[in-house]
A and B are shown apart, each in its own frame.
Chain A
Amino acid sequence: MDSNISGDTPDLSRSQINRLGRRLRKAGTDGISDADRDLLERLVASHGPALAAVQDQLMQTLGVRVTSRTKTTGTLIEKLQRNQSMALSRMQDIAGARLVLEMTRVQQDQLVARIVELFPGAETMDRRAQPSHGYRAVHVVVQVDERFVEIQVRTVLQDLWAQLTERLGDAWGRGIRYGDPPDDPDALVGSGTTRQAFFDGLLHQAERIDAVESIAVDLLELEDFYRSTTATPENLRRLEELKQRHRSLEDETREFYRALGLLN
């Protein structure tokens, strides 16, 4: 007999959910039975109240815009198939909330800290320190009423990169988000560039954004430090070099986006 433990829905036990996950992984999106589709819909719907509660609490407490979504059937099954050992009851992003704000990384850290305070037991995944195939953000996984909710906290720069990559994945295969090459990687894009080279450029852009955001923090810290002490000429020279490096990277970032915007 299945026990009523964390991860159960009111009428689905954890082991039933995990068996469902194994069947979904095997059947794929095309082969899902009506009975399993019913079960999956019940599981997804059971996350609705927890997700709404998290979204409300974030908006009311933090005063920021938050949006939410439950995972689609297709992306849920794709995830099970990508992660062969994942138990469906342990999938942490069936319900997800997202915050995208114009902020520095220090402010992003502060926002994450406030979210963690709001939800005892929250777990943080810093995808800036451990990017996933170029994707950077901070994810906080919380549990409400025994349901996981994943909160994605992104800066505007991190989000734009993610949106572009998702959009490109729509056309060239969603596997690019997980390290696969684009479909038809040697096909030409624009002026003689292959899809693969183009996507490599997008991955490089992720590194550039990372540098822009990291240097911005260094600059703020240095400027703050020099306000409280007498800077030597060497200190000032170092500061100016860092500013120039930051400006140069920002220019390169914009130039890359300008080139993307001109593609057909």
Chain B
Amino acid sequence: MVFYPLTQSRSKGTVDEKGLPLNLVNVKNLRSFTLRVDFEDIRYPYEALSQTLHTITSPFFSEFVLEVGRVFATREPTHGACRWWGTWTELDKMFEKLAMERGFRVVIRAENLDREPNLFSQAENRLPLMAARKGIVFEIGPFPEK
């Protein structure tokens, strides 16, 4: 897995290449899982994210939230970086299966789309099965404090 050189990074993220992905087998009542990523890092957590989501056994799991945020102020903007967030086919199938079972939905939330105006259409391309089921919810605005 390629790890993006994060400027000013002191600690690795949650699902980094060295640390193990979260194991959520024992969380029996999990309803929602949220992952915050940088616009330009969307492709990188896929592998670890996939492993984490596959450990979820909760029968109540019904929402995956992808919060896409801004990059560091010090980093030069790279327009169109989201084009390279790879294929999410495997997760798409998993999400669709959950959607058939329990009305699962994917929420893609961005504070604004200045950096990546095509984010939502790209998400639909990456998750075509969920998009066909209208199981993707797009939200723009400040991230809610849950």
Do A and B come from the same complex? no
